[in-house]
Amino acid sequence: MRVLFVCLGNICRSPTAEGVLRHKLREAGLADQVEVASAGTGDWHVGRAPDKRSQAAARLRGYDLSAQRAQQVTRADFATYDLILAMDHSNLRNLEALQPARGKAELDLFLRRYQSDVDEVPDPYHDGDQGFEHVLDLIERATDLLVIELKGRV
Ligand code: 4NP
């Protein structure tokens, strides 16, 4: 089972989701059965480590994002991944435009799929530290439900 998180730059939201899911999969004993990755719809930050503010906020909650490097999503990803989860409506629209007619990946809006009160993880790039905390709050909650789904699918 392979899961890909997608945001705009792949330096804030989707790397955070990747780090949180990887951590929770280890706790659930599913680390060997689920592969996790993240990517951006844009290419500005390709090859870079996650934003320092994302790394710092994540580290305080026990998630290490330091080994991640940004990459841009490709059409081939729709054949590689089973589940592609977009952080906001704009990411989802960009992914729908890229999606081949046939491909195994199921594409969805991350928070909508896991029934949060809000359906987008807001872009924290131009925000203060509080934006990064909010991103983590939303991602942690939805990831708990994602892990429950994955337990039933692997
Ligand atoms: P992300 O945040 O999509 O959560 O990685 C952003 C990072 C960089 C930019 C936009 C959003 N940017 O415009 O460079």
Where residue 116 falls among pLDDT bands split at 50, 70, 90?
Answer: confident
Query: Contact 146/114 with Cβ under 8 angstroms?
Result: yes
Q: What are phi and psi of 76, to 5 degrees?
A: -65, -25
Main-chain dihedrals φ then ψ at residue 110, nearest 5 degrees: -50, -55
12 CA to middle of ligand 1, Å? 6
- Domain total for the chain? 1
Q: Does residue 31 surpass a pLDDT of 80?
A: yes
pLDDT at position 97 over 90: yes
Could you tell me if 32 and 3 are in contact, meaning their C-beta atoms sit under 8 angstroms apart? no
Read off the pLDDT of residues 72-89 as tens digits, 9 standing for 90 and up. Answer: 999 999 999 999 999 999
Going from the Cα of 8 to the center of ligand 1, the distance in angstroms, rounded, reads 5
Contact by Cβ (8 Å): 3, 17: no
How far from the centroid of its chain's Cα atoms is residue 68's Cα?
12
Work out the average pLDDT over 30-55: 98
Average pLDDT rounded to a whole number, residues 83-102: 97
Structure tokens at 41: 């719809």
Q: Which residue owns the Cα nearest ligand 1 atom 12?
A: 9
Task: Determine the average pLDDT of the residues in 7-29.
Answer: 98
C-alpha angle 67/149/107, rounded to 5°?
70
Is-contact 68 34, C-beta < 8 A? Answer: no
CATH code of the domain in which 88 resides? 3.40.50.2300
Average pLDDT over every residue of 102-123? 93
Which structural domain, as residue segments, surrounds residue 15?
Answer: 2-153
How much is the pTM? Answer: 0.98
| Percentage of the chain exceeding pLDDT 70 | 100
Of 12, 13, 51, 53, which one is the catalytic site residue? Answer: 13
Q: What is the mean pLDDT of the chain?
A: 97
Task: Give residue-wise pLDDT tens across range 121-152.
Answer: 999 999 888 999 999 999 999 999 999 999 99
The number of angstroms, rounded, from the C-alpha of 15 to the middle of its chain's C-alpha atoms is 6
What count of other Cβ atoms lies within 10 Å of the Cβ of residue 11? 28
Residue 3 DSSP SS3: strand
Instruction: State residue 30's pLDDT score.
Output: 98
